[in-house]
Amino acid sequence: MDPKILIVDDEAHIRLLIEQTLEELEDEGIELLTASNGAEALELIEAEHPKLIFLDVMMPKVNGFDVCQKVKHELNMKDIYIIMLTAKGQEFDKQKGQEVGADVYMTKPFDPDELFDKAVEVLKIDI
């Protein structure tokens, strides 16, 4: 089964930017999935079990912290690597991200190259 990456952000242009950043990985057999809110993300996570999630914090319905908390602690999917993306870079938010089980915390605007390199590293792709 090919590994999947889930991109979760309520802003379409951010989802598109991340998709474009990672589209080269599709040549390596990686499937890119997207969700526009936390509720949709949770449905996809349970159905598709992505290996890596780029997760926005501020979203309608269910925020990123709650999604991360549910995935890591309630669903016990500890093997899923979660990168929280947020416009808030305050220490409090980083701490909250760690508490709910985020593996990495990146602030927006992010560097697309850094995002790509992180995905390659997490999925152990040889490019």
Q: The CATH number of the domain where 8 resides is what?
A: 3.40.50.2300
Question: 8-47 burial by CB neighbour count: b if 16+ within 10 A, else e?
Answer: bbbeeebbebbbebbeebeeeebebbbbbbbebbbebbee
Residue 10: band (very low, low, confident or very high) from pLDDT cuts 50, 70, 90: very high
* Residue-level pLDDT at 64: 97
Which one has a higher pLDDT value, 16 or 91? 16
What is the distance between the alpha carbons of residues 90 and 87, in angstroms, rounded to a whole number?
9
Q: What's the predicted TM-score (pTM) here?
A: 0.95
- As a whole number, the mean pLDDT across the chain is 94
Q: Is the pLDDT of residue 88 over 80?
A: no
Q: Which domain holds residue 31?
A: 4-123
- DSSP H helix total and E strand total for the chain: 5, 5
* Residue-level pLDDT at 111: 93
Angle at 108 between CA 104 and CA 110, to 5 degrees: 75
Q: What is the mean pLDDT of residues 91-108?
A: 90
Q: What is the mean pLDDT of residues 18-29?
A: 96
Question: Are 59 and 8 within 8 A, CB to CB?
Answer: yes
* Residue-level pLDDT at 87: 82
Could you give the number of structural domains in the chain? 1
